Structures are given as structure tokens and as C-alpha cells.
Amino acid sequence: MYQTTLKTRISCSGVGLHAGEKAAMTLKPATAGTGIVFERTDLNNGGRFFPARFDMVSDTFLCTTLRNASGATLSTVEHVMAALAGCGVDNALIAVNGPELPIMDGSSEAFVFLIECAGVVALDTPRRHLRVLRAVEVRDGDRVARIAPSESRSFRCEIVFDNPRISRQSASLDLDREAFKSAIARARTFGLMEEVDGLRARGLALGGSLDNAVVVSGETVLNEGGLRYENEFARHKVLDAVGDLALAGAPILGAFEGYCSGHALNNRLLKALFEDGDAWRWETAADDGERLAALA
Ligand SMILES: [Zn+2]
């Protein structure tokens, strides 16, 4: 019913996936209506803030990067965004001392742990959500991302990989805090061994290791301990979609479906949704009460 924020500030540190540099991050409470805003503490006043919105996304290769009006960038926001959305946090300021957020173990588990340690409190302003009124779909060849009207916030992702261990798999989520935490938050990002050398040659994934990504070579999962779920790969795609769609700036009441979708297509889906003024509307908890009263 009401917007939320964190009860107190809380910090962690880790390496950034792409540059491989150490990053320190602090999650802080924020007032109602702030939304999620990132702050790069290594930059000067004007250019240090990055509202977490779909229209600030500048790059979606491997991760979601935000670019602000002064041209500064901040990368790998999606797993923190997923944790905040999964835990129902509407407003927070996320301070980080460099151009990348820490990757932690490649999932959202550490961020969920931090949010739960800090605690989540309700503010006195009603929450608004974005209700999908008709289906919107974007495609890139065979890849599809789609959002359709629904009374719940559901996600379904299917992936098909030319790899015998990943192959074809799917995962679903009806988004609430417990379901996100138990079924999705621990699913790690992943890659194929044969891609790793190419990424390193391009100066990417320099901080990547078996500590923060599942790496697959043929039939074999190279990580000691193997997978956390048999369909961990598809579950991570759901995690990414939760984070990418949180860039709408409010919870979306709708059913998301992705077929081989990723950050780029998820971002195009949000742009297509917002461009079609008949496909959605803002609603608040108060509107819901009136609607239910009208139906009764
Ligand atoms: Zn991811």
C-alpha cells in the first residue's frame, strides 16, 4: 500500500566484474518519491547522480549501464535493482566509489542479505504502480520480450543455448519477497568457457572468476559445488528481468515473458511500453481501493 525505504544505511565491498577493481557500496534510506538513485562518490557534485530509469540506460552489452546528463556511466546495476525490487524497496540512495557496482557472487543474494539486515520501513506516501493495459512485445530475430496485462507481477524466461548443459530451460516467478528470495535471488550470472578469452581480450570480465559466475565448458560446470538449481541459468534470466524492469521506476503490474531475451531487449520492451500511452497507466493503492469499491 505504502512506499518503502531502508531503515538504516548498510555497506559492503567487492570487485567490479568488468574492470576488476575493488568497489565499496553503501545502501542508504531515501524519502518517498525519490525512487532508486545511484551516486558515484568519486565524481564531482553535478555529475555524480544516476536515477535508476530505463531512459538513462546507455549500454546493455553483458550488463546494464546507466549514463547521466554529464556523460558519466555506472555499470552492473541490474543485480542490485533486482534485489531492491524483490524485497519491495521503492526508495534508496546507492553510493559507490567507482564506475561499477561490486558483482559479489554474481547473484542478488548478498544484496538481499544487506537489505534484510538494514530492514525495510513503510513511508507515509501511497505506492504507485504501472498497470499494463494491453500486451506490448519487442523482437530481435527469434528473441522475444513481452509484457501483458495481469493482476500480479509475474516473470517467465525461457532460454535456448547451443550447449548441452544449458540447452533449453525455463523459470517462472510470481514476484513477492519470499518467492524472490527462495527461488531467484541466489541464481548466479553465467558464461561459456569459450567466450571468456574473447571477453578478456576486449578488456571485459577482468574481475570475472568462478567466485562470481557459473562457467560452463561443454557438459561440465567448472565451479566447485556445481549449480545451485538445475535451471540456475534460466532463474538468473528471471533475476535480470526483475532488475531490468525495475528501471520503469515503479512496480509493473503485468506478466513478463522472455524468450532468449537479455538486458538489451528488456530495455527496448520498457521503451516500447512507455511510448504506447494506451498500453499502461499509473495507479496508486488509493485508486485500487476505489476500483474495488466500484466492482463491489
Ligand atoms: Zn545478471
Model pLDDT for residues 109-130, shown as the tens digit of each residue: 999 999 999 999 999 999 999 9
The predicted pLDDT at position 131 comes to 97
The predicted pLDDT at position 62 comes to 75
Show the CA angle centred on residue 230, arms to residues 228 and 235, nearest 5°. Answer: 75
The CA-to-CA distance between both ends of the chain, in Å, stands at 20
pLDDT band of residue 171 (cuts 50, 70, 90) is: very high
Residue of 296 and 15 predicted with greater confidence: 15
Ligand 1 centroid from CA 253, angstroms: 22
Residue of 156 and 208 predicted with greater confidence: 156
The predicted pLDDT at position 117 comes to 97
User: Does 291 score more than 80 pLDDT?
Assistant: no
Ligand 1 centroid from CA 213, angstroms: 9
Name the pairing type of β-strands 57-59 and 22-28: unpaired
**Mean pLDDT calculated for residue range 249-269:** 96
Ligand 1 centroid from CA 215, angstroms: 13
With a pLDDT cut of 70, the percent of the chain lying above it is: 96
Q: In whole angstroms, give the CA distance from residue 162 to residue 260.
A: 12
Cβ pair 119, 7 in contact under 8 A:
yes
Ligand 1 centroid from CA 295, angstroms: 41
Model pLDDT for residues 9-61, shown as the tens digit of each residue: 999 999 988 788 899 999 999 999 999 999 999 998 778 999 999 999 988 77
In this structure, the number of other CB atoms found within 10 A of the CB of residue 183 comes to 17
The predicted pLDDT at position 296 comes to 54
Which domains can be identified in the chain, with CATH numbers? 2-128 (3.30.230.20), 129-295 (3.30.1700.10)
The predicted pLDDT at position 59 comes to 81
Region of residue 76 (phi > 0: left; psi between -120 and 50: alpha; otherwise: beta)? left
The predicted pLDDT at position 197 comes to 79
The predicted pLDDT at position 63 comes to 82
User: Does 294 score more than 90 pLDDT?
Assistant: no
263 is catalytic: yes
The predicted pLDDT at position 196 comes to 81
pLDDT band of residue 152 (cuts 50, 70, 90) is: very high
Model pLDDT for residues 55-89, shown as the tens digit of each residue: 999 887 778 899 999 999 999 999 999 999 999 99
Ligand 1 centroid from CA 249, angstroms: 19
Taking a 5 Å cut-off on Cβ, the residues next to ion ligand 1 are 189, 240
The predicted pLDDT at position 209 comes to 81
pLDDT band of residue 287 (cuts 50, 70, 90) is: low
The single residue of 18, 79, 129, 263 carrying the catalytic annotation is 263
The predicted pLDDT at position 289 comes to 59
Mean pLDDT computed over every residue of the chain: 93
The predicted pLDDT at position 195 comes to 83
- Burial group, residue 201, by CB count within 10 angstroms (0-12, 13-18, 19+): exposed
